[in-house]
Structure 1
Amino acid sequence: MAYSAAEILQEAAINRLVLWNVDLTLVDVAIVTRDAYAEAFRVVTGRPLVKLVPPLGRPDSEIVFETLAVNGIVAEDDHLPRFLAALATAFADRRGRLAKEGRMMAGAKAALKAVSRLDGVAQTVLTGTIKSNAVLKLKAFGLDKHIDFELGGYGEEVYPKATLLQVAQSRAKQRLGTPFTAANTVVIGDSTRDVQAAKIGGAAMIGVASGRSMASELREAGADVVLPDLSDASEVVAAVAALTAPLDSRAV
Protein backbone atom coordinates (compact mmCIF):
# COMPACT_ATOMS: atom_id res chain seq x y z
CA MET A 1 0.00 0.00 0.00
CA ALA A 2 1.39 3.41 -0.97
CA TYR A 3 1.34 6.21 1.59
CA SER A 4 1.21 9.93 0.86
CA ALA A 5 3.94 12.27 2.09
CA ALA A 6 1.48 13.73 4.61
CA GLU A 7 0.63 10.29 6.01
CA ILE A 8 4.29 9.40 6.34
CA LEU A 9 4.99 12.64 8.20
CA GLN A 10 2.14 12.00 10.61
CA GLU A 11 3.29 8.46 11.43
CA ALA A 12 7.00 9.25 11.84
CA ALA A 13 8.72 11.34 14.47
CA ILE A 14 10.12 14.09 12.27
CA ASN A 15 13.13 15.78 13.84
CA ARG A 16 15.35 16.70 10.89
CA LEU A 17 14.48 19.45 8.41
CA VAL A 18 16.27 19.62 5.05
CA LEU A 19 15.69 22.71 2.91
CA TRP A 20 16.77 22.46 -0.72
CA ASN A 21 17.50 25.38 -2.98
CA VAL A 22 15.96 24.72 -6.41
CA ASP A 23 17.74 26.54 -9.25
CA LEU A 24 21.25 25.25 -10.03
CA THR A 25 21.09 22.95 -7.02
CA LEU A 26 18.38 20.55 -8.23
CA VAL A 27 17.49 21.84 -11.71
CA ASP A 28 18.53 24.38 -14.33
CA VAL A 29 15.64 25.85 -16.32
CA ALA A 30 17.05 29.33 -16.90
CA ILE A 31 15.95 29.59 -20.55
CA VAL A 32 12.30 28.96 -19.75
CA THR A 33 12.45 31.23 -16.70
CA ARG A 34 13.81 34.14 -18.77
CA ASP A 35 11.07 33.69 -21.36
CA ALA A 36 8.40 33.63 -18.65
CA TYR A 37 9.80 36.82 -17.13
CA ALA A 38 9.75 38.53 -20.52
CA GLU A 39 6.12 37.56 -21.04
CA ALA A 40 5.12 38.68 -17.52
CA PHE A 41 6.90 42.01 -18.03
CA ARG A 42 5.05 42.59 -21.29
CA VAL A 43 1.69 41.73 -19.73
CA VAL A 44 2.19 44.06 -16.76
CA THR A 45 3.89 47.03 -18.44
CA GLY A 46 2.83 46.77 -22.08
CA ARG A 47 6.49 47.03 -23.06
CA PRO A 48 9.09 44.47 -24.18
CA LEU A 49 11.65 43.40 -21.61
CA VAL A 50 15.07 44.83 -22.44
CA LYS A 51 17.07 43.70 -19.41
CA LEU A 52 16.43 41.01 -16.79
CA VAL A 53 18.57 41.35 -13.68
CA PRO A 54 20.54 38.21 -12.76
CA PRO A 55 18.92 36.06 -10.04
CA LEU A 56 22.04 35.66 -7.86
CA GLY A 57 20.02 33.61 -5.39
CA ARG A 58 17.50 36.39 -4.79
CA PRO A 59 13.72 35.92 -4.43
CA ASP A 60 11.41 36.62 -7.35
CA SER A 61 9.85 39.49 -5.39
CA GLU A 62 13.23 41.28 -5.31
CA ILE A 63 14.06 40.45 -8.93
CA VAL A 64 10.73 41.90 -10.07
CA PHE A 65 11.36 45.29 -8.44
CA GLU A 66 14.92 45.50 -9.78
CA THR A 67 13.84 44.43 -13.26
CA LEU A 68 11.18 47.13 -13.33
CA ALA A 69 13.74 49.71 -12.20
CA VAL A 70 16.48 48.84 -14.72
CA ASN A 71 13.88 48.98 -17.49
CA GLY A 72 12.73 52.45 -16.49
CA ILE A 73 9.43 51.49 -14.85
CA VAL A 74 8.46 53.26 -11.62
CA ALA A 75 7.05 50.57 -9.35
CA GLU A 76 3.48 51.06 -8.14
CA ASP A 77 1.64 49.31 -5.31
CA ASP A 78 -0.01 46.73 -7.56
CA HIS A 79 3.04 45.94 -9.71
CA LEU A 80 4.39 43.10 -7.56
CA PRO A 81 1.19 41.05 -7.18
CA ARG A 82 0.32 41.58 -10.86
CA PHE A 83 3.82 40.62 -12.00
CA LEU A 84 3.97 37.50 -9.83
CA ALA A 85 0.53 36.39 -11.05
CA ALA A 86 1.59 36.97 -14.67
CA LEU A 87 4.86 35.14 -14.02
CA ALA A 88 3.00 32.12 -12.64
CA THR A 89 0.74 32.04 -15.70
CA ALA A 90 3.59 32.51 -18.17
CA PHE A 91 5.67 29.80 -16.53
CA ALA A 92 2.77 27.34 -16.39
CA ASP A 93 2.15 27.96 -20.10
CA ARG A 94 5.75 26.89 -20.75
CA ARG A 95 5.90 23.87 -18.44
CA GLY A 96 6.07 21.50 -21.40
CA ARG A 97 9.46 23.01 -22.29
CA LEU A 98 11.08 22.49 -18.89
CA ALA A 99 12.38 18.95 -19.35
CA LYS A 100 13.23 19.58 -23.02
CA GLU A 101 15.16 22.81 -22.61
CA GLY A 102 16.27 22.47 -19.00
CA ARG A 103 18.24 19.87 -17.10
CA MET A 104 18.25 18.06 -13.81
CA MET A 105 21.47 18.66 -11.89
CA ALA A 106 23.79 15.67 -11.59
CA GLY A 107 22.72 13.28 -8.85
CA ALA A 108 19.67 15.28 -7.77
CA LYS A 109 17.11 12.49 -7.93
CA ALA A 110 19.29 9.92 -6.17
CA ALA A 111 20.27 12.43 -3.48
CA LEU A 112 16.66 13.31 -2.69
CA LYS A 113 15.73 9.65 -2.49
CA ALA A 114 18.72 8.77 -0.32
CA VAL A 115 18.10 11.63 2.13
CA SER A 116 14.44 10.60 2.40
CA ARG A 117 15.59 7.30 3.93
CA LEU A 118 17.22 9.02 6.89
CA ASP A 119 15.35 8.57 10.16
CA GLY A 120 13.04 11.44 11.03
CA VAL A 121 13.67 13.60 7.99
CA ALA A 122 11.34 16.05 6.25
CA GLN A 123 12.49 17.59 2.97
CA THR A 124 11.20 20.84 1.53
CA VAL A 125 12.53 23.81 -0.44
CA LEU A 126 13.97 27.20 0.41
CA THR A 127 13.89 29.05 -2.87
CA GLY A 128 13.61 32.47 -4.43
CA THR A 129 11.16 30.96 -6.92
CA ILE A 130 7.45 31.49 -6.34
CA LYS A 131 5.72 28.37 -5.05
CA SER A 132 3.74 27.39 -8.15
CA ASN A 133 6.84 27.64 -10.32
CA ALA A 134 9.01 25.73 -7.85
CA VAL A 135 6.51 22.87 -7.92
CA LEU A 136 6.47 22.83 -11.73
CA LYS A 137 10.28 22.89 -11.93
CA LEU A 138 10.67 19.84 -9.72
CA LYS A 139 7.70 17.92 -11.14
CA ALA A 140 9.09 18.30 -14.66
CA PHE A 141 12.04 16.11 -13.65
CA GLY A 142 10.25 13.81 -11.21
CA LEU A 143 11.93 15.44 -8.22
CA ASP A 144 8.78 16.26 -6.25
CA LYS A 145 8.18 12.81 -4.73
CA HIS A 146 10.16 13.40 -1.54
CA ILE A 147 9.40 17.13 -1.13
CA ASP A 148 6.74 18.52 1.20
CA PHE A 149 5.98 21.82 -0.51
CA GLU A 150 3.74 23.05 2.31
CA LEU A 151 6.73 23.47 4.64
CA GLY A 152 8.89 25.59 2.36
CA GLY A 153 9.83 29.24 1.87
CA TYR A 154 9.14 30.88 -1.50
CA GLY A 155 9.85 33.92 -3.63
CA GLU A 156 6.41 35.52 -3.44
CA GLU A 157 6.92 35.99 0.29
CA VAL A 158 8.55 39.40 0.56
CA TYR A 159 11.30 38.49 3.01
CA PRO A 160 15.07 38.05 2.78
CA LYS A 161 16.05 34.41 2.33
CA ALA A 162 17.26 34.15 5.93
CA THR A 163 13.81 35.17 7.13
CA LEU A 164 12.22 32.71 4.71
CA LEU A 165 14.28 30.00 6.39
CA GLN A 166 12.77 30.93 9.75
CA VAL A 167 9.31 31.01 8.19
CA ALA A 168 9.86 27.45 6.93
CA GLN A 169 11.09 26.33 10.36
CA SER A 170 7.99 27.86 11.94
CA ARG A 171 5.71 26.10 9.47
CA ALA A 172 7.44 22.82 10.14
CA LYS A 173 7.12 23.25 13.90
CA GLN A 174 3.43 24.10 13.62
CA ARG A 175 2.78 21.13 11.36
CA LEU A 176 5.05 18.55 12.96
CA GLY A 177 5.27 19.68 16.57
CA THR A 178 9.08 19.72 16.62
CA PRO A 179 11.20 22.85 17.20
CA PHE A 180 13.60 23.34 14.31
CA THR A 181 16.84 25.20 14.95
CA ALA A 182 20.42 25.25 13.69
CA ALA A 183 20.88 21.92 15.50
CA ASN A 184 18.45 19.97 13.32
CA THR A 185 17.96 22.10 10.17
CA VAL A 186 20.20 22.06 7.12
CA VAL A 187 20.09 24.08 3.90
CA ILE A 188 21.49 22.61 0.68
CA GLY A 189 22.31 25.23 -1.95
CA ASP A 190 24.78 26.39 -4.56
CA SER A 191 25.42 30.07 -3.78
CA THR A 192 27.12 32.15 -1.12
CA ARG A 193 23.74 33.84 -0.66
CA ASP A 194 22.33 30.47 0.43
CA VAL A 195 25.20 30.14 2.91
CA GLN A 196 24.52 33.59 4.32
CA ALA A 197 20.82 32.83 4.66
CA ALA A 198 21.58 29.62 6.56
CA LYS A 199 24.01 31.31 8.92
CA ILE A 200 21.76 34.29 9.64
CA GLY A 201 18.50 32.34 9.73
CA GLY A 202 19.74 29.50 11.94
CA ALA A 203 20.64 26.35 10.01
CA ALA A 204 23.63 24.24 9.06
CA MET A 205 24.76 24.54 5.44
CA ILE A 206 25.82 22.12 2.73
CA GLY A 207 27.26 24.02 -0.21
CA VAL A 208 27.09 22.41 -3.65
CA ALA A 209 29.54 23.85 -6.17
CA SER A 210 27.28 23.14 -9.14
CA GLY A 211 25.99 26.62 -9.82
CA ARG A 212 26.63 30.21 -8.90
CA SER A 213 29.59 29.87 -6.54
CA MET A 214 32.87 27.97 -6.57
CA ALA A 215 33.77 25.55 -3.80
CA SER A 216 36.32 27.99 -2.36
CA GLU A 217 33.71 30.74 -2.23
CA LEU A 218 31.23 28.50 -0.44
CA ARG A 219 33.87 27.52 2.13
CA GLU A 220 34.91 31.13 2.66
CA ALA A 221 31.27 32.14 3.17
CA GLY A 222 31.03 29.58 5.98
CA ALA A 223 29.42 26.45 4.55
CA ASP A 224 29.78 23.55 6.98
CA VAL A 225 30.29 21.01 4.18
CA VAL A 226 31.09 21.66 0.51
CA LEU A 227 30.45 19.07 -2.21
CA PRO A 228 31.36 19.36 -5.90
CA ASP A 229 27.81 18.30 -6.85
CA LEU A 230 25.14 15.80 -5.77
CA SER A 231 26.58 12.85 -7.71
CA ASP A 232 27.62 10.90 -4.63
CA ALA A 233 24.36 10.35 -2.73
CA SER A 234 26.19 8.71 0.16
CA GLU A 235 28.20 11.90 0.70
CA VAL A 236 25.02 13.97 0.75
CA VAL A 237 23.38 11.65 3.25
CA ALA A 238 26.46 11.57 5.47
CA ALA A 239 26.59 15.37 5.51
CA VAL A 240 22.90 15.73 6.33
CA ALA A 241 23.13 13.09 9.07
CA ALA A 242 26.16 14.75 10.64
CA LEU A 243 24.61 18.23 10.61
CA THR A 244 21.07 17.39 11.76
CA ALA A 245 21.40 15.26 14.86
CA PRO A 246 17.83 14.54 16.06
CA LEU A 247 16.86 16.53 19.13
CA ASP A 248 15.63 13.45 20.98
CA SER A 249 19.16 11.99 20.82
CA ARG A 250 20.68 14.94 22.69
CA ALA A 251 21.26 15.05 26.40
CA VAL A 252 18.85 17.29 28.27
Structure 2
Amino acid sequence: MLWNIDLTLVDVAIVTRDAYAEAFRVVTGRPLVKLAPALGRPDSEIVFETLAVNGVVAEDDHLPRFLSALAVAFADRRKRLAKDGRAMPGAKDALKAVARLDGVVQSVLTGTIRGNAVLKLKAFKLDPYVDFDLGGYGEEVYPKATLLQVAQGRAKERLGTPFTAANTVVIGDSTRDVQAARIGGAAMIAVASGRSTAAELQEAGADVVLPDLSDAAEVVAAVAALTSPDRVPQGF
Protein backbone atom coordinates (compact mmCIF):
# COMPACT_ATOMS: atom_id res chain seq x y z
CA MET A 1 0.00 0.00 0.00
CA LEU A 2 1.65 3.22 -1.16
CA TRP A 3 0.34 6.60 -0.02
CA ASN A 4 0.96 9.94 -1.64
CA ILE A 5 1.57 12.55 1.07
CA ASP A 6 0.75 16.12 0.03
CA LEU A 7 -2.98 16.81 -0.22
CA THR A 8 -3.66 13.12 0.34
CA LEU A 9 -2.51 12.76 3.96
CA VAL A 10 -1.38 16.28 4.88
CA ASP A 11 -1.42 19.87 3.65
CA VAL A 12 1.71 21.81 4.59
CA ALA A 13 1.94 24.01 1.50
CA ILE A 14 2.78 27.22 3.38
CA VAL A 15 5.77 25.70 5.14
CA THR A 16 6.91 23.97 1.95
CA ARG A 17 6.91 27.21 0.00
CA ASP A 18 8.91 28.99 2.70
CA ALA A 19 11.45 26.16 2.74
CA TYR A 20 11.78 26.32 -1.04
CA ALA A 21 12.31 30.08 -0.87
CA GLU A 22 15.08 29.65 1.69
CA ALA A 23 16.74 26.84 -0.29
CA PHE A 24 16.59 28.93 -3.47
CA ARG A 25 18.27 31.85 -1.69
CA VAL A 26 20.99 29.62 -0.26
CA VAL A 27 21.78 28.03 -3.63
CA THR A 28 21.47 31.03 -5.95
CA GLY A 29 22.00 34.02 -3.67
CA ARG A 30 18.77 35.50 -5.01
CA PRO A 31 15.21 35.78 -3.65
CA LEU A 32 12.65 33.35 -5.02
CA VAL A 33 10.19 35.12 -7.30
CA LYS A 34 8.16 32.19 -8.59
CA LEU A 35 7.86 28.61 -7.36
CA ALA A 36 6.95 26.00 -9.96
CA PRO A 37 3.65 24.29 -9.11
CA ALA A 38 3.85 20.81 -7.61
CA LEU A 39 1.08 19.14 -9.66
CA GLY A 40 2.00 15.75 -8.24
CA ARG A 41 5.60 16.01 -9.41
CA PRO A 42 8.75 15.08 -7.47
CA ASP A 43 10.90 17.71 -5.76
CA SER A 44 13.70 17.03 -8.23
CA GLU A 45 11.49 18.05 -11.14
CA ILE A 46 10.08 21.07 -9.30
CA VAL A 47 13.61 22.28 -8.54
CA PHE A 48 14.67 22.27 -12.20
CA GLU A 49 11.54 24.15 -13.30
CA THR A 50 11.83 26.62 -10.44
CA LEU A 51 15.39 27.43 -11.45
CA ALA A 52 14.30 27.87 -15.07
CA VAL A 53 11.28 30.12 -14.40
CA ASN A 54 13.50 32.32 -12.23
CA GLY A 55 16.10 32.68 -14.97
CA VAL A 56 18.75 30.43 -13.42
CA VAL A 57 20.65 28.15 -15.79
CA ALA A 58 20.87 24.77 -14.05
CA GLU A 59 24.37 23.41 -13.50
CA ASP A 60 25.43 19.90 -12.53
CA ASP A 61 25.60 20.64 -8.81
CA HIS A 62 22.38 22.63 -8.57
CA LEU A 63 20.06 19.71 -7.88
CA PRO A 64 22.02 18.04 -5.05
CA ARG A 65 22.77 21.42 -3.47
CA PHE A 66 19.14 22.51 -3.71
CA LEU A 67 17.77 19.27 -2.26
CA SER A 68 20.28 19.42 0.58
CA ALA A 69 19.35 23.05 1.32
CA LEU A 70 15.65 22.15 1.07
CA ALA A 71 16.07 19.42 3.68
CA VAL A 72 17.81 21.83 6.06
CA ALA A 73 15.27 24.61 5.49
CA PHE A 74 12.34 22.24 6.02
CA ALA A 75 13.84 20.74 9.18
CA ASP A 76 14.36 24.26 10.54
CA ARG A 77 10.61 24.85 10.10
CA ARG A 78 9.36 21.50 11.41
CA LYS A 79 7.77 23.08 14.49
CA ARG A 80 5.53 25.11 12.18
CA LEU A 81 4.09 22.07 10.38
CA ALA A 82 1.32 21.27 12.85
CA LYS A 83 0.61 24.97 13.46
CA ASP A 84 0.50 26.18 9.86
CA GLY A 85 -0.53 22.90 8.20
CA ARG A 86 -3.14 20.21 8.73
CA ALA A 87 -3.77 16.52 8.41
CA MET A 88 -6.29 15.83 5.66
CA PRO A 89 -9.76 14.77 6.85
CA GLY A 90 -9.75 11.14 7.95
CA ALA A 91 -6.06 10.56 7.23
CA LYS A 92 -5.12 9.05 10.59
CA ASP A 93 -8.22 6.86 10.86
CA ALA A 94 -7.70 5.60 7.30
CA LEU A 95 -4.07 4.69 7.99
CA LYS A 96 -5.04 2.92 11.21
CA ALA A 97 -7.87 1.02 9.54
CA VAL A 98 -5.79 -0.15 6.59
CA ALA A 99 -3.01 -1.21 8.97
CA ARG A 100 -5.43 -3.72 10.51
CA LEU A 101 -5.90 -5.55 7.21
CA ASP A 102 -4.10 -8.90 7.10
CA GLY A 103 -0.92 -8.89 5.06
CA VAL A 104 -0.90 -5.15 4.33
CA VAL A 105 2.31 -3.12 4.60
CA GLN A 106 1.97 0.65 4.22
CA SER A 107 4.60 2.97 2.79
CA VAL A 108 4.70 6.14 0.70
CA LEU A 109 5.07 7.03 -2.96
CA THR A 110 5.79 10.72 -2.86
CA GLY A 111 7.47 13.51 -4.74
CA THR A 112 8.79 14.77 -1.41
CA ILE A 113 12.39 13.99 -0.49
CA ARG A 114 12.63 11.33 2.20
CA GLY A 115 13.68 13.48 5.15
CA ASN A 116 10.88 15.94 4.55
CA ALA A 117 8.36 13.14 4.01
CA VAL A 118 9.17 11.74 7.45
CA LEU A 119 8.85 15.17 9.08
CA LYS A 120 5.48 15.81 7.41
CA LEU A 121 3.95 12.62 8.76
CA LYS A 122 5.60 12.87 12.19
CA ALA A 123 4.13 16.35 12.67
CA PHE A 124 0.65 14.84 12.64
CA LYS A 125 1.56 11.51 14.31
CA LEU A 126 0.92 9.57 11.13
CA ASP A 127 4.39 8.01 10.95
CA PRO A 128 3.77 4.90 13.13
CA TYR A 129 1.65 3.39 10.37
CA VAL A 130 4.26 3.78 7.61
CA ASP A 131 7.35 1.73 6.77
CA PHE A 132 9.55 4.45 5.28
CA ASP A 133 12.21 1.98 4.11
CA LEU A 134 9.89 0.56 1.44
CA GLY A 135 8.81 3.84 -0.14
CA GLY A 136 9.77 5.95 -3.13
CA TYR A 137 10.90 9.56 -2.74
CA GLY A 138 11.42 12.77 -4.65
CA GLU A 139 15.23 12.75 -4.65
CA GLU A 140 15.25 9.44 -6.50
CA VAL A 141 14.24 8.60 -10.05
CA TYR A 142 11.30 10.19 -11.78
CA PRO A 143 8.66 10.02 -13.25
CA LYS A 144 6.55 8.53 -10.50
CA ALA A 145 5.75 5.42 -12.52
CA THR A 146 9.43 4.46 -12.36
CA LEU A 147 9.55 5.41 -8.69
CA LEU A 148 6.61 3.07 -8.09
CA GLN A 149 8.60 0.21 -9.55
CA VAL A 150 11.55 1.11 -7.31
CA ALA A 151 9.27 0.88 -4.27
CA GLN A 152 7.89 -2.46 -5.47
CA GLY A 153 11.45 -3.74 -5.87
CA ARG A 154 12.29 -2.73 -2.31
CA ALA A 155 9.21 -4.50 -1.02
CA LYS A 156 10.05 -7.65 -2.96
CA GLU A 157 13.60 -7.66 -1.61
CA ARG A 158 12.36 -7.28 1.96
CA LEU A 159 9.24 -9.45 1.86
CA GLY A 160 10.14 -11.96 -0.84
CA THR A 161 6.89 -11.38 -2.75
CA PRO A 162 6.67 -10.02 -6.31
CA PHE A 163 4.49 -6.90 -6.39
CA THR A 164 2.21 -6.20 -9.32
CA ALA A 165 -1.12 -4.51 -10.04
CA ALA A 166 -2.78 -7.44 -8.26
CA ASN A 167 -1.25 -6.72 -4.86
CA THR A 168 -0.04 -3.08 -4.97
CA VAL A 169 -2.41 -0.19 -4.29
CA VAL A 170 -1.56 3.51 -4.63
CA ILE A 171 -3.66 6.18 -2.91
CA GLY A 172 -3.19 9.70 -4.22
CA ASP A 173 -4.98 12.88 -5.16
CA SER A 174 -3.61 13.90 -8.57
CA THR A 175 -4.00 12.69 -12.12
CA ARG A 176 -0.22 12.16 -12.12
CA ASP A 177 -0.63 9.71 -9.26
CA VAL A 178 -3.23 7.86 -11.32
CA GLN A 179 -1.01 7.82 -14.39
CA ALA A 180 1.92 6.52 -12.33
CA ALA A 181 -0.19 3.66 -11.01
CA ARG A 182 -1.50 2.80 -14.47
CA ILE A 183 1.94 2.82 -16.09
CA GLY A 184 3.97 1.46 -13.19
CA GLY A 185 1.70 -1.44 -12.33
CA ALA A 186 -0.61 -0.82 -9.38
CA ALA A 187 -4.29 -0.50 -8.57
CA MET A 188 -5.36 3.07 -7.84
CA ILE A 189 -7.58 4.70 -5.25
CA ALA A 190 -7.87 8.40 -6.00
CA VAL A 191 -9.14 10.97 -3.52
CA ALA A 192 -10.52 14.28 -4.76
CA SER A 193 -8.93 16.17 -1.85
CA GLY A 194 -6.28 17.89 -3.96
CA ARG A 195 -6.40 19.98 -7.10
CA SER A 196 -7.76 17.26 -9.41
CA THR A 197 -11.52 16.84 -9.56
CA ALA A 198 -13.29 13.51 -9.16
CA ALA A 199 -14.16 13.59 -12.85
CA GLU A 200 -10.53 14.19 -13.84
CA LEU A 201 -9.34 11.36 -11.62
CA GLN A 202 -11.95 9.01 -13.05
CA GLU A 203 -11.04 9.98 -16.60
CA ALA A 204 -7.34 9.41 -15.87
CA GLY A 205 -8.15 5.78 -15.06
CA ALA A 206 -8.47 5.48 -11.27
CA ASP A 207 -10.01 2.20 -10.16
CA VAL A 208 -11.84 3.89 -7.29
CA VAL A 209 -12.48 7.60 -6.69
CA LEU A 210 -13.39 8.84 -3.20
CA PRO A 211 -14.17 12.42 -2.15
CA ASP A 212 -11.55 12.18 0.64
CA LEU A 213 -10.40 9.81 3.40
CA SER A 214 -13.10 10.71 5.91
CA ASP A 215 -14.85 7.33 5.66
CA ALA A 216 -12.21 4.82 6.81
CA ALA A 217 -14.53 1.86 6.18
CA GLU A 218 -14.91 2.99 2.57
CA VAL A 219 -11.13 3.16 2.16
CA VAL A 220 -10.67 -0.31 3.67
CA ALA A 221 -13.39 -1.75 1.43
CA ALA A 222 -11.70 -0.29 -1.64
CA VAL A 223 -8.31 -1.72 -0.67
CA ALA A 224 -9.81 -5.13 0.02
CA ALA A 225 -11.68 -5.16 -3.28
CA LEU A 226 -8.64 -4.12 -5.31
CA THR A 227 -6.44 -6.80 -3.75
CA SER A 228 -9.00 -9.59 -3.87
CA PRO A 229 -7.70 -12.78 -5.56
CA ASP A 230 -10.85 -12.73 -7.72
CA ARG A 231 -10.13 -9.29 -9.14
CA VAL A 232 -8.89 -9.03 -12.71
CA PRO A 233 -6.55 -5.99 -12.89
CA GLN A 234 -7.13 -3.39 -15.60
CA GLY A 235 -4.74 -3.42 -18.51
CA PHE A 236 -1.52 -1.48 -18.05
Q: 2:97 & 2:229 partners in 1: Cα distance?
A: 17
Distance 2:12 2:229 in 1: 34
1:7 aligned partner: none
The one-letter amino acid paired with 1:203 is A
- Number of the residue aligned with 1:149: 132
Partner of 2:224: 241
Superimposed CA distance per residue, residues 21-45 of structure 1 (whole angstroms, 9 cap, x where no aligned partner) = 0000000000000000000000000
Which of 79, 83, 91 pairs up with 2:66?
83
Matching of residue 61 in structure 1 with residue 61 in structure 2? no
Measured against aligned partners, the alpha-carbon deviations of 1:181-215 in whole angstroms (never above 9, x if no partner) come to 00000000001110000000000000000012111
Query: Could you tell me which amino acid in structure 2 is paired with residue 79 of structure 1?
Result: H
Distance 1:173 1:151 in 2: 9
Identity %: 86
Is residue 124 from structure 1 mapped to residue 124 from structure 2 by the alignment?
no
Residue 211 of structure 2 aligns with which residue? 228
- C-alpha root-mean-square deviation of aligned residues, in Å? 0.9
> Is residue 105 of structure 1 aligned with residue 93 of structure 2?
no
User: How far apart in 1 are the matches of 2:182 and 2:192?
Assistant: 18
1:158 maps to a residue whose letter is: V
Alignment of 1:187-198 (within 5 A): 187-198=170-181
- Residue 136 of structure 1: aligned partner: 119
> How big is each residue's C-alpha offset from its partner over 1:134-156, in whole Å with a ceiling of 9 and x where there is no partner?
00000000000110000000000
Mark the CA change 1:176 to 1:147 in structure 2 (over 3 Å): closer, same or farther: same
Distance, in Å, in 2 between the alignment partners of 1:176 and 1:99 is 34
Task: State the partner residue of 2:29.
Answer: 46
In the alignment, which residue of structure 2 is the partner of 1:25?
A: 8
In the alignment, structure 2 segments of 5+ residues that lack a partner are: 231-236
SS in 2 for 1:66: helix
For residue 199 of structure 2, give the secondary structure of its aligned residue in structure 1: helix
Give secondary structure in 1 for the equivalent of 2:129: coil
State the match for 1:36 in structure 2.
19
Shift of 1:245: 2.8
| Aligned partner of residue 231 in structure 1, secondary structure | coil
Secondary structure at the residue paired with 2:218? helix
Q: Match of 2:162, as an amino acid?
A: P
1:209 aligns with 2:203: no
Distance in 1 between the 2:63 and 2:227 partners? 36
Give the distance between the partners of 1:196 and 1:66, measured in 2 at CA: 21
CA separation of 1:123 and 1:246: change in aligned 2, threshold 3 A: farther
- Rounded to whole Å, the distance in 2 between the matches of 1:219 and 1:83 is 35
Secondary structure of 2:105 counterpart: strand
- What secondary structure, in the 3-state scheme, does the structure 1 residue paired with 2:128 have? coil
1:88, 1:54 → 2: CA distance?
18
When normalised by structure 1's length, the TM-score is 0.90
Runs of at least 5 residues in structure 1 that lack an aligned partner in the other structure: 1-17, 248-252
Q: How many aligned positions are there?
A: 230
Could you list the structure 1 runs, at least 4 aligned residues long, displaced by more than 6 angstroms after superposition. Answer: none
